[in-house]
Amino acid sequence: MPRITHFEIHDVRFPTSLTGDGSDAMNVDCDYSSAYVSLFTDSNLVGHGMTFTIGRGNDIVCQAIKQVANRIVNKEIESLFADMGKAWDHLVADPQLRWIGPEKGVIHIATGAVDNALWDLYARARQKTLWKLLVDMSPEELVKSATFRYITDVITPDEALAILKAKEATKKEREAIVRSQGYPAYVTSAGWIGYSDEKIARLTKEAIHAGFNHFKMKVGAELADDLRRGRLIRSIIDDPQWQRDLPPDDPESARRLPDGPALAGKNAGPTGAVLMIDANQVWDVQQAMDYVSSLAEIKPWFIEEPTAPDDILGHAAIRRALKPLGIGVATGEHAHNRMVFKQLFQADAIDVCQIDSCRLAGVSEVLSVLFMATKFGVPVCPHAGGVGLCEYVIHLSLIDYIAVSGTMERNVLEYVDHLHEHFLYPCSINERGRYNVPNNPVEGYSIEMYQSSIAKYEWPNGSYWALGKGRCRIL
């Protein structure tokens, strides 16, 4: 029976601050980084996982990954695969490591990297993509793969089982639909604060040409600047001259009707285009209410991360204040565990749930949040971008659509066109502006990185850094 024999960890950093990629009101200089782990076995199976940071501190996460990964060395892989929920419980159960969480912060995102690597190993062992591995599971197996500790006051395993059984008979139908159409996406690449107006206009037009009709921009540094950039983006996405014609029988056409169900409540413009805004936690609660009210003219669907990510009641207050303006609230990128999401749902604090593939501690905890979101009727639009997150989250959205919520009508999955070339199995977008479905049975969770990329960008001795060919702003 194969066992996990050892692991390797790499601190991989990319100098994205040089081009302003990832710039927002809170995070001015971002160097997209991967705390990357590979689990090796005494067979030819290897599982890969990572968590995402924006530069300094990536080494601290790597140290935490080492501590967590040690817990599954010498474990038989089939015994872990037989009960992935129990395996997740084991990863978070060390009392001394738990003390420096518990289940939050650096130790939690490190656990996410290890849990994701274990799921990647599982998928590769079954020669399936990660999403296919999970949607092919029975409802009982899926429930067993999740964690329910601390959330049974909101959802029990029996309730989750009922949700999954209600969707079971039609899973194949939904799988066929999404394979044919792709999964709806939105683009953030045009909206970074550090970009010039000329670059924003060019990238917005390119995004429209690529098939997108949902766009997100960063806000919160300066109101006049945000209004100028918002008006610029609106002037382009609402102008019919820039729009691509779609055949009337194209399924995407129905999603772009301003008065259709897919766009209801999204402040869509005359072309069916939707604008979202993201403050990356920069405001206090009252500041958020006042600032976003001043941006009402650019008609955002939602404000993302308007205040501190742990402030559940603050988000609820902001949502109540903005509701008369037709502006919703979204958060979750920094919601560090299922308990935060539980309270966001309980407090009726969000219109959109934005899970992160490695801020939460891996696939097992993500499942728990998907179950809760479906129970509360809140659409899940995962956070992506960064490095590797787009590769990850398409799997999570497919699991949600096919096996859990059963809908993608109002959902959109973030897409950022950065750093995909470093992965063996990069995500891709079709001509409708939708994610293609990962379909290679050897790719697992799609997060395996080229060894050449690791050799070049590993900090601090990779060839890019050691030879001084380039320097980012903050390293």
Catalytic annotation, residues: 218, 383
Tokens of 86: 């129990």
Residue 155: strand, helix, or coil: coil
Helix, strand or coil for residue 45?
Answer: coil
What is the rounded distance in angstroms from the CA atom of residue 377 to the CA atom of residue 372? Answer: 8
Which of 148, 140, 199 has the alpha carbon at shortest distance from 403? 140
- Closest by Cα among 380, 383, 382 to 404: 380
Q: Give the separation between CA 138 and CA 128, rounded to whole angstroms.
A: 16
Ramachandran angles phi, psi of 242, nearest 5°: -95, -10
For residue 396, what are the β-bridge partners? none
**Residue 467, class by beta-carbon neighbours within 10 Å (0-12 exposed, 13-18 middle, 19+ buried)?**
exposed
Rounded to whole angstroms, the Cα distance separating 278 from 280 reads 6
Q: Which residues of 212-235 are buried (b: 16+ CB within 10 A; e: fewer)?
A: bbbbbbbbbbeeeebeebbebbbe
**Nearest-angstrom CA–CA distance, 276 and 143:** 33
Quickly list DSSP for 396-451.
HHHHIIIIIS---SS--EEE--SSGGGBSS---B-TTSEEPPP--TT-TTS-PBPH
- Residue 49, phi then psi, degrees to nearest 5: -150, 165
User: Are 164 and 142 spatial neighbours (Cβ–Cβ below 8 Å)?
Assistant: yes
Amino acid at 162: A
Nearest CA among 273, 252, 259, 264 for reference residue 429: 252
User: Peptide bond preceding 460: is omega within 30 degrees of 0, i.e. cis?
Assistant: yes
- Helical segments of 259-309, H only: 285-294
State both tokens at 326: 């037709």
